[in-house]
Amino acid sequence: MSFKLGAGVLALMAGLAASAAQAADFEFWHPFGGHNGEVVQQLVDKFNTEHPGITVNAVFKGGYAEVLNGSIAAFRAGKAPGLIVVQARNAPTMLTSGAALPVYELMPQAGFNVDWNDFIRPALAMFSDDKGPVSLPFNSSTPILWYNVDAFEKAGIASVPQTWDDMEEAAKKIKAAGYDCALTAGWPHWVHLDAYSQIHRIEVATNNNGMDGWDTKFTFDTQPMYVNHIKRLKRWIDEGLYTYSGRTGQGADAAFNSEQCAMMLESSAAYGGIKAGAKFKFAAGYMPYEKGTESPANSLIGGGTLFVLKGQTDENNKAIATFLDYLTQVPQQIYWHKETGYVPISLKAYEAAKAEGYYDENPHQELAILQLNRGGAPGPFNRGFRFGYASQVYDVMSEELERVWSGETDVDTALSDSVRRGDEIIERFVRSIGQ
Amino acid sequence: MQKRALFSGSALPYLLVLPQLAVLLVFFFWPAGQAVFQSMTISDPFGFRVIFVGLDNFKSLLSGKEYWSSVRVTTMFTLCATFLSLAGGFFMAVFADRAIRGQRALKLLLIWPYAVAPAVAGILWLFLFHPMFGSIALFLKAIGVPWNPSLNGTHAFVLVTLAAAWKQFSYNFVFFLAGLQAIPKSLIEAAAIDGAGPATRMVKIVFPLLSPTTFFLVVMNFVFMFFETFGIIHAVTQGGPGNSTNILVYKVFRDGFIGQDLGSSSAQSVLLMIIVMVLTVFQFRYVERKVVYA
């Protein structure tokens, strides 16, 4: 209790301090720890120096969930931060909340003319409503294939696997070369359901995967390609070609960096960790696709996006807009991209990095951008996903898949169970938004 | 004859318990009331729309098999971890009680785990048993045990149960040791002279005399396993793989704070509150009858 009292006193003091200050200042809550946290702080410090009169207070709140929960609690108490980073999958929570100030309103009001056409399309598609982009894409990434070059040489693999058939062949060779684990994946749900279905333009749920309406029903259990993919993964696990390392990227990263696993399907933003941790030569390739796919589509965006919360003064909103504009500028984007492995969100920044010759030395850094931008404008079933209570939906799917991997149940039962449970969750969400 | 201390006025005693009542009101009754109200609503996380749905949240929970699987997991987990930590604590207490040299140091070392926060305890065990880098996990693999708690539900369950039991066993140790030391040596010696062997003395004298302690510890351990193990689950398995370690209190957190479904989460915490209340009443009414307060 003394802690709560202490916190209350601190909050009170902070409130007094805030009312004493004349100039604009707002809080920016983010989930970046470690190296990425330092990079964010650098960006914020530079902004604060260049803009006297505006103070951005960057606060590291823990993970994505802590940022969102903290923001919700603060919002309900009338003390919301001005700007927050929200995980891509939770964007729907914000889009329907009525708590977000859309950037398509904020930016023009503050006098900034943003060329949205210059933004990476899959990112923008995920975070827009029918009037325009509601949030500003910031830390965007996409899954790619990371591989251990030394292991490839040892196993005699000449070219980077392109298709899932190539993957099987490569995995067998790696196994034969003495590796315990040929292939693993970080965020397996994102890789094997989300990215897989986007690349092959497979319908996962009705209403164009939720993009055209909240009231959706899941359909992935009736998609032969997807069902076969899961069955193949199960077979690979049984044959020792694929290793499951948990729902997040932590286990996969550790296995890849310690040379236990020779291939890893993981976020392009795993780059920072691999660069720091791997003591071998590594490289990357595109996410594999099925043989016979004529033009694999763009893969799915992941990572986080910036939402502006309502409830700030006009002064502060203007300051937030200024900060957002600063973040989208080329120098900041290039710095962020190079340091973290997240993709630059504007094509201008990408071209500038390319002109510098950055990708000649770091070709894997360009892969993610090319993969996100390929296949023309995103069409049906590859514009992204929009599911209410998304975290719960994804938890359910991960749970059911884990049951398959451990042999507790078979693929068909698990998929129909996750569709049933997922539909129930969506129904609750639709009720909660009063539709 | 009973001794009674009587206050002349009636205001003073109420005044004296007022601070405690105020604390209870603010930190227990008010939030509990909120939870009961919220459990009958569906609302968006930001609280703009609150829709009253009566008992729908409870209905959908109790009719789905997921909630019951969580109940099963919680029951198994609580029973196993409580048994392990009680047995471990008792075992160590018996030996520490007999230790001739270094008893103080031994006691101190055995109490240490209690000072470790549940989340930290979880991380410690995870470091030992992580399938990729845990030293014990690597040893298990080397001797041919396919240890993988991130995929095998039983392994994950064993891991969190061990971590929880380890964390709580110190607490039990302290109480058992105190209980053992309070048993008059003369009783034990008299029994020995009458020809009772160590096992008989344990069953006929030590167990009955320790029963109040044991009863108290069972209640405390149940409460600990139900609520405080949240940190261990969160740090080690996040409820997975599958649903194999998704205990009730963790499910409340996951559905409410990660899943943003506050209505269902509140309904679950109301159910949890009822379960613990029933359990405690049951323990005091039926189990306590068998307890001998010497």
Residue with the larger pLDDT of the pair B289 and A77: A77
Is B26's pLDDT higher than 60? Answer: yes
DSSP A195: I
Distance from C-alpha of A49 to C-alpha of B171, rounded to nearest angstrom: 54
Residue with the larger pLDDT of the pair B114 and B4: B114
- Residue B227 is predicted with a pLDDT of 87
Residue B244 main-chain phi, psi, to 5 deg: -70, -20
- Residue B5 is predicted with a pLDDT of 64
- Residue A135 is predicted with a pLDDT of 95
User: Strand, helix or coil at A261?
Assistant: strand
C-beta atoms of A75 and B151 within 8 A: no
Residue with the larger pLDDT of the pair A14 and A420: A420
Residue A259 main-chain phi, psi, to 5 deg: 65, 20
C-beta atoms of A395 and B264 within 8 A: no
**pLDDT tens by residue, B231-271:** 999 999 888 788 899 999 999 999 888 888 889 999 999 99
Residues A302-329 have a mean pLDDT of 94
- CA B66 to centroid of chain Cα atoms: 22
Residue with the larger pLDDT of the pair A283 and B45: A283
Indicate which CATH number applies to the domain containing B208: 1.10.3720.10
- Residue A120 is predicted with a pLDDT of 85
Residues of chain B with Cβ-Cβ distance to A400 below 8 Å are 242
| Burial annotation B129-168 (CB, 10 A radius, 16+ → b, else e) | bbbbebeebeebeeeeeebbbbbbbebbbbbbbbbbbbbb
- Residue B6 is predicted with a pLDDT of 65
Question: What are the residues facing A58 on neighbouring strands?
Answer: A28
Tell me which H or E stretch contains A55.
strand A54-60
C-beta atoms of A389 and B238 within 8 A: no
C-beta atoms of B45 and A72 within 8 A: yes
Q: How many Cβ atoms sit within 10 Å of the Cβ of residue A235?
A: 12
- Domain hosting B149: range is 64-290
Q: Which two tokens stand for residue A300?
A: 């799915």
pLDDT band at A195 (very low <50, low <70, confident <90, very high): very high
Query: Locate tokens 């209350």: which residue?
Result: A8
Instruction: Look at residue B139 and tell me if it is in a domain.
Output: yes
| Interface residues of chain B, partner chain A, Cβ below 8 Å | 23, 27, 42-49, 51, 53, 60, 64, 66, 130-133, 150-153, 238, 240-243, 254-255, 257-261, 263-264
The one-letter amino acid code at B156 reads A
| Cβ contact B242:A399 at 8 Å | yes
Q: Which two tokens stand for residue B44?
A: 């968006």
Is A377's pLDDT higher than 80? Answer: no
pLDDT band at A21 (very low <50, low <70, confident <90, very high): very low
The candidate with the shortest Cα–Cα distance to B234, out of A422, A63, A244, A403, is A63
- Residue B149 is predicted with a pLDDT of 87
Distance from C-alpha of A214 to C-alpha of A387, rounded to nearest angstrom: 7
Residues B175-190 have a mean pLDDT of 91
Residues of chain A with Cβ-Cβ distance to B23 below 8 Å are 1
Q: Where along chain A do the CATH 3.40.190.10 domains lie?
A: 2-141+301-364, 143-300+388-432
From B257, which residue of chain A is nearest by alpha-carbon distance?
A: A69
Any CB–CB contact under 8 A between A245 and chain B? Answer: yes
- Residue B67 is predicted with a pLDDT of 93
- Residue B291 is predicted with a pLDDT of 73
- Residue B8 is predicted with a pLDDT of 66
- Residue A272 is predicted with a pLDDT of 83
- CA B11 to centroid of chain Cα atoms: 38
- Residue A15 is predicted with a pLDDT of 46
**Structural domain tally of chain B?**
1
Residues of chain B with Cβ-Cβ distance to A405 below 8 Å are 151, 241
Q: What is the DSSP string of chain B?
A: -------SSSHHHHHHHHHHHHHHIIIIIHHHHHHHHHTTEEE-TTSS-EEE-TTHHHHHHHHSHHHHHHHHHHHHHHHHHHHHHHHHHHHHHHHHHH--SSHHHHHHHHHGGGGS-HHHHHHHHHHHH-TTT-HHHHHHHHTT----TTT-HHHHHHHHHHHHHHHHHHHHHHHHHHHHHHS-HHHHHHHHHTT--HHHHIIIIIHHHHHHHHHHHHHHHHHIIIIITHHHHHHHTTT-STTTT--HHHHHHIIIIIT--HHHHHHHHHHHHHHHHHHHHHIIIIIGGG----
Any CB–CB contact under 8 A between A74 and chain B? Answer: no
C-beta atoms of A406 and B152 within 8 A: yes
Is A220's pLDDT higher than 60? Answer: yes
Residues B11-31 have a mean pLDDT of 90
Q: Which two tokens stand for residue B282?
A: 């049951």
B contact test, residue of A398, A408, A432, A435 with most B CBs within 10 A: A432
The average confidence (pLDDT) of chain B is: 88
- What is the ipTM score, two decimals? 0.78
Fold for domain A143-300+388-432? D-Maltodextrin-Binding Protein; domain 2 (3.40.190)
In this structure, CATH architecture of domain A2-141+301-364: 3-Layer(aba) Sandwich (3.40)
CB pairs under 8 A between A and B: 105
| Cβ contact B165:B81 at 8 Å | yes
Any CB–CB contact under 8 A between A70 and chain B? Answer: no
Query: Locate tokens 């500038």: which residue?
Result: A352
Any CB–CB contact under 8 A between A403 and chain B? Answer: yes
Question: What are the residues facing A289 on neighbouring strands?
Answer: A163
Distance from C-alpha of A383 to C-alpha of A367, rounded to nearest angstrom: 19
Lowest mean pLDDT among A138-142, A250-254, B45-49, B205-209: B45-49
Instruction: Look at residue B54 and tell me if it is in a domain.
Output: no
- Residue B287 is predicted with a pLDDT of 76
Query: Per DSSP, which regions of A169-310 are E strands?
Result: 181-185, 242-243, 261-267, 282-285, 302-309
**pLDDT tens by residue, A83-122:** 999 999 888 889 888 899 999 999 999 999 999 989 988 8
Distance from C-alpha of B43 to C-alpha of B49, rounded to nearest angstrom: 6
| Cβ contact A435:A214 at 8 Å | yes
- Among A68, A254, A428, the residue with its CB nearest the CB of B42 is A428
**pLDDT tens by residue, B50-65:** 889 999 999 999 998 8
Instruction: Look at residue B9 and tell me if it is in a domain.
Output: no
Residues of chain A with Cβ-Cβ distance to B260 below 8 Å are 68, 72, 93, 389, 391-392
Residues A231-257 have a mean pLDDT of 92
Instruction: Look at residue B18 and tell me if it is in a domain.
Output: no
- Residue A20 is predicted with a pLDDT of 41
pLDDT band at B103 (very low <50, low <70, confident <90, very high): confident
pLDDT band at B151 (very low <50, low <70, confident <90, very high): confident
Query: Locate tokens 């291939």: which residue?
Result: A263
| Cβ contact A110:A322 at 8 Å | yes
**pLDDT tens by residue, A343-373:** 998 999 999 999 999 999 888 899 999 998 8
For strands A302-309 and A100-101, give the pairing: antiparallel
- Residue A435 is predicted with a pLDDT of 67
C-beta atoms of A1 and B23 within 8 A: yes
Is A5's pLDDT higher than 60? Answer: no
